[in-house]
Amino acid sequence: MILETPTALPTQTATLIHRPASFFEPLELDELFSAPQPLEVELGAGDGSFLANYAARHLDRNFLGVERLLGRLRKIDRKGLRGGLRNLRLIRVEASYLIQYLLPSESVAALHVYFPDPWPKRKHRKNRLVNAAFVELARAVLKPVGTVFLRTDDADYFTQMTEVFRASSAFSAIPTPPELAEVTTDFEREFQARGVPTLRVAYQRR
Ligand SMILES: C[S@@+](CC[C@H](N)C(=O)[O-])C[C@H]1O[C@@H](n2cnc3c(N)ncnc32)[C@H](O)[C@@H]1O
């Protein structure tokens, strides 16, 4: 396994981006992080402003940022390295592939899904990340009482999110903790600046 370990931070060559030796085996989380701590995963981390900020506030947790665009991943990498975040690792992979195949079962304390692509056209809604299949995948990777945190600006997508989680007996709705809600994402700040309302909800695994 190629592991550019964060214990070497900060150096010119260090990177927080993890390139798994195999995309067909679950990640070895013990090798990924220098300390065995609860794992939180952000799917579609964008420019990483939420992730870097939140990881810095919670050094007693490990964070994995997932993003399919390399340019954005590199931006998060630079933020994490600048902040000396030893509890942050990044991976470039499709989000649903990660939760289906790469995350070990019952390994995750929290999933953060903020402003996922809304696919507003009816014929494109099948591309949405958060659907009934996602709920089952989330149940499988979350530890008991693990939580999914969701935010969106798209009212129709919000309805879909709440319907699919409500239909599952594995989850109960809980309030988003204020200390989490106050850490905004890049897209969230843009919506706020334009006066676009945003919605949030959280579900805890029973
Ligand atoms: C609308 S942006 C939101 C970014 C960030 N969460 C925020 O709130 O600022 C959605 C992000 O998810 C990434 N993304 C979309 N679909 C993805 C997928 N299937 N797997 C991984 N990343 C994805 C996009 O590249 C983009 O950076």
Pocket flag, ligand 1, residue 146 (CB < 6 Å): no
Of 146, 149, 159, residue with least CA distance to 202: 149
Cα-Cα-Cα-Cα dihedral sign, residues 120, 41, 203, 191: negative
Cα-to-chain-centroid distance, residue 4: 21
CA 45–ligand 1 middle distance (angstroms): 6
Catalytic residue among 30, 77, 117, 186: 117
How many residues are recorded in the chain? 206
Phi, psi of 104 (to 5 degrees): -60, 150
pLDDT digits (tens, 9 = 90+) for 196-205: 999 999 999 9
The stretch 120-146 carries a mean pLDDT of 97
How far away, in angstroms, is 80 Cα from ligand 1 center? Answer: 18
Report which DSSP code applies to 112: E
User: How many angstroms separate the CA atoms of 77 and 119, rounded?
Assistant: 27
Task: Report DSSP state, residue 168.
Answer: -
DSSP 8-state symbol, 175: P
The answer to whether residue 117 is catalytic is yes
pLDDT interval class at 2 (50, 70, 90): very low
* Single pTM value for the model: 0.94
Supply 13's token pair. Answer: 């060559």
Ligand 1 and 134: CB distance under 6 A: no
State residue 62's pLDDT score.
98
pLDDT digits (tens, 9 = 90+) for 40-94: 999 999 999 999 999 999 999 999 999 999 999 999 999 999 999 999 999 999 9
> For ligand 1, atom 5, which residue shows the shortest CA distance?
46
- Is 157 a pocket residue for ligand 1 (Cβ < 6 Å)? no
Please tell me the predicted confidence (pLDDT) of residue 13.
Answer: 55
Distance CA 196, CA 122 (A): 22
Ligand 1 pocket test, pick from 40, 50, 68, 70 with the greatest ligand atom count within 8 Å of Cβ, gives: 68
Residue-level pLDDT at 1: 42
Q: How many helices (H) and strands (E) does the chain have?
A: 8, 7
Alpha carbon of 54 to ligand 1 centroid (Å):
17
Question: Which ligand 1 atom is the nearest neighbour of the CA of 96?
Answer: 19
67 ligand 1 Cβ < 6 A: yes
Q: Is residue 11 predicted with pLDDT exceeding 80?
A: no
Q: Position of tokens 């992730």?
A: 51
pLDDT confidence of residue 27: 97
Question: What integer is the mean pLDDT of 128-156?
Answer: 98
**What domains, with CATH codes, occur in the chain?**
33-205 (3.40.50.150)
Q: Quote the mean pLDDT of the chain.
A: 94
Q: Token match 């809304």: residue? A: 118
Tell me, in angstroms, the distance from the centre of ligand 1 to residue 67's CA. Answer: 6
